[in-house]
Structure 1
Amino acid sequence: MLLAALEQRFTDGLLPPLEPQAIIHPNGFVKLPLARTAGGDARLFLHVWQRDSVDADAHDHRWAFASAVLRGELSHTSMDVTVTPGSTGRGGGGGGDGDLADAFAVARYQPQVGKHYFDVSRREKAVVDRRRTHVFSAGRRYGMEASAFHRAHALAGAMTFVARGLPQRPYARVLLDDETSMPVMKPWRRLGAVERQQYLRDALEALG
C-alpha cells in the first residue's frame, strides 16, 4: 500500500530496493529502504527518529537528496565551508548562527563491509564561515547537494521520506575538532519484521 502511494508520485515506475534490509542507523534513526526508481537515478527510504538526536559531527554526503517531513519536526544547520589541504587545528569562535570562523580537521568517510573507515591522511582543513539553521515540520520539503555540510537535529518520532540520488564520489566528509577525535560509530542493528511493518503502517497513516 505504501509503494502504491509512492507510485502515484513517481510515474516512471518503481523497483524493489537494492538493499531491502531495514536497519537502525548509529545516529539514532530507523533507515528503511522502500524502492528505487525504474531509471536507477534515485533510491527511496523512510527515516524514523527513535529519540531526540543530533548529529555528532557536521558532514556532507556522497549523494544529493530531497526529503519530505511526514511527521514531527527536525532542523538542519547548514554551513558555508571552505576545504583546503594542509595541517589542521581548532580555530576560535563558538556555536550558534551568524558569521563565525571555525577551523576543523576533515575526515573522509568511506563505508566498508563490517566497519566504518575514516581517513585523515590528506590533512585537509575546513573553515566554517557561516551557519544557518532551518526548522522543518510536517508537510515541509527540503533538499541538499552532496557537497553541503550540515548537522541534523530531530525530535523523537519524526518521520521523513527521503529520495537519494546516485553517489557522486566514493566518500563523504566529516568535520572533526582535530585529527585524533574520530567519531565513535555504533554497530548498525537490523530491524525485525514486526518493527518494520509497524513503521510502514505509521508511514501510511502519516501520508493519509
Structure 2
Amino acid sequence: MCDDLVGAVLLAALEQRFTEGLLPPLGPQAIIHPNGFIKLPLARTAGGAARLFLHVWQTDSADADAHDHRWAFASAVLRGELSHTLMDVTVAPGSTGSKGADEFVVARYQPEVGKHCFDVSRRERAVVDRRRTHVFSAGRRYGMEAFAFHRAHALAGAMTFVARGLPQRSHARVLLDDETSMPVMKPWRPLDVVERRRHLRDALEALG
C-alpha cells in the first residue's frame, strides 16, 4: 500500500471524484464506532474485492472484548500509535466444569439493521493458548488474516487507513467472560459533513 495510493483514495473521498479504479463507498456515512473510533468509509475498488476506510481514535481506547473478523485486512498507520494483542485460541464445545482464567465463552456476532445480535446458543468455549502484542507507530503497515483473535488499543489521535477484504463467513466471534457479560452496544453516532471533511484533510496532512 504505497503513500501515493493512500493519498489518491483520501483525495477522491474528500472531493467525491473517483478514478476508474475506485468507486464511491457502499455506505458513505461516517460514524463513531462503539469501540471509540471514527469509522469513515472512503471508497471501494472497482472489482469489489476491497473496501477502504479511515479510522480515527479521538481518545485513548481499547476494544471491549477480544474478537475476530469475517475478513482479512491491511492497514497503514498515518498518525499516532496503536497496538494489537494477537491470541492463539482453541475453540471447542463448552465444558460443564469451572472456567479457567484463560477460558472464555464464544459469542457469534452478526449485525442486523438497527441492532447487534450475539448468539451463545452453541455453548462454545475458547481457551487462549498464547498472547503476543505488536506496537505500530506512524509510517508502519500491517495486515491480519480473517478469523484471527485480537484486541486493539490506540492512543488518542491515532489514525489508520484500512483496506478490508470480502467477508468469508456470515458472523464474527467475540470472547466473553461468561454468558451474562453480553456487550452493551452503544448507538453509532453519525458524523456531519464538516467533521468528515476535517478528518480527511487531517489524514492528507499526516501523509505530507
Same fold flag (TM > 0.5):
yes
Please tell me whether the aligned partners of residues 3 and 34 of structure 1 are also in contact (alpha carbons under 8 angstroms): no
Return 78-87 or 66-75, whichever deviates more. Answer: 78-87
Note the alpha carbon deviations across 1:28-64, whole angstroms, 9 max, x for none. 0000000000111000000000100011100000111
Q: 1:80 to 1:3 in 2, by over 3 A?
A: closer
Cα 1:4–1:127, aligned 2, differ >3 Å: closer, same or farther?
Answer: closer
**Cα offset for 1:180?**
1.1
Which residue in 2 is equivalent to 1:25? 33
Give the alignment of 1:52-131 within 5 angstroms: 52-87=60-95, 90-92=99-101, 102-131=102-131
**Residues of 2 paired with 1:51 and 1:205: CA distance?**
20
Instruction: Provide the residue aligned with 1:148 in structure 2.
Output: 148
Structure 1 ranges of 4+ moved more than 6 A: none
Who is 1:41 aligned against? Answer: 49
CA distance in 2, matches of 1:150, 1:169: 18
Displacement of 1:179: 1.1
What is the one-letter code of the residue matched to 1:132?
R
- Counterpart check, 1:5 vs 2:8: yes
Q: Distance in 1 between matches of 2:193 and 2:156?
A: 21
Contact 1:50/1:156 (8 A) holds in 2: yes
Paired amino acid for 1:26: P
The CA distance in 2 between the partners of 1:145 and 1:28, in whole Å, is 23
Is the contact between residue 12 and residue 39 of structure 1 (CA under 8 Å) also seen in structure 2? no
SS at match of 1:117: strand
CA distance in 2, matches of 1:126, 1:3: 37
Question: Could you tell me which residue of structure 1 aligns to residue 159 of structure 2?
Answer: 159
Structure 1: how far apart are the matches of 2:109 and 2:154?
A: 22
Residue type at the aligned position of 1:70: L
- After superposition, give the CA deviation of every residue in 1:63-111 in whole Å (9 maximum; x if it has no partner): 110000000000000000011122475313xxxxxxxxx1100000000
2:75, 2:193 → 1: CA distance?
A: 25
- SS, match of residue 39 in structure 2: strand
1:5 counterpart letter in structure 2 = A
Give the conservation status (yes or no) of the 8 Å contact 1:109–1:173.
yes
Match for residue 177 of structure 2?
177
- Cα distance change on mapping 1:6 and 1:172 into 2, 3 Å: same
Identity of aligned residues (%): 85
Number of residue equivalences: 197
Query: Residue type matched to 1:173 in 2?
Result: R
Query: Which amino acid counterpart does residue 41 of structure 2 have in structure 1?
Result: P
The 3-state SS of whatever aligns with 1:111 is strand
Pair 195,40 (structure 1): closer, same or farther in 2 beyond 3 Å:
same
Alpha-carbon distance between aligned partners in 2 of 1:191 and 1:90, rounded to the nearest angstrom: 42
